[in-house]
Amino acid sequence: MKNASPISPLRRTALRRLAAAAAVGGGGMLGLLRAALAANPEPGIRSMKGMVTVDGKPAAVGQQIRPGQKVVTDAGSEAIFVIGNDAFLQRESSEFAFDANAGVVVLRYITGKVLSVFGKGRKTLDTPTATIGIRGTACYIEAEPERTYFCLCYGDAVVRPKRSPRLRKSLRTRHHESPLYIGGGSDADVYSRASVANHVDAELIMLEELVGRVPPFYGKNDDMY
């Protein structure tokens, strides 16, 4: 995987869990996922490292993230949390918030890096350079003021660049096929190809586990990221 970040302790934990599960086969993997879910069924912050705040106050494991609140991770920090039937891994130096009004869910990737898995239902992802409509999928976003890195790990999405909404793009992927950058400049620079970077399948499996699911690629593809 090109340009990958050093593996953090949380990521190492995910990889160890995946390796242990793989050793007992597909049926054993599903059993382990269900057992882990039964042991930890509650939403909220499930794990954190370093300085994590919610609305400017120190966060705590078990704390729920409610509409209108903002989660911020400091340098060297990470947080894993569950909101409804969605789960998130927020990396260091990142800001994330969500709103839910009149049945409309908007997830705001303000800055930084977040890996997300989503259950059924339409949601809108808001980044500095694009709005992205999704329905039951998974993605990794790196949000910067002038561009957004977007990997649709699996599922469906409609991307609308904020500067050029007429250049909307529909995506459907099964396993990281179409990572791209979404720019905030001229039409010619709106989309550019990217490689899969800074997220791995073990993390997707771990996040889906927290909400009682397995990724659609599990057991169907030996080419793991």
* Domain ranges across the chain: 9-210
65-88 pLDDT per residue, tens: 999 999 999 999 999 999 999 999
pTM of this prediction?
A: 0.83
Confidence of residue 131 (pLDDT cuts 50, 70, 90): very high
Beta bridge partners of 156: 172
C-alpha distances in Å from residue 225, one per residue of 39, 43, 191, 205: 28, 27, 23, 11
Q: What is the pLDDT of residues 12-51, one digit of tens each?
A: 455 445 444 443 344 444 444 444 554 444 689 999 999 9
Condensed to tens digits (0 to 9), the pLDDT of residues 136-170 reads: 899 999 999 999 999 999 999 999 999 999 999 99
pLDDT on residue 167: 94
Class of domain 9-210: mainly beta
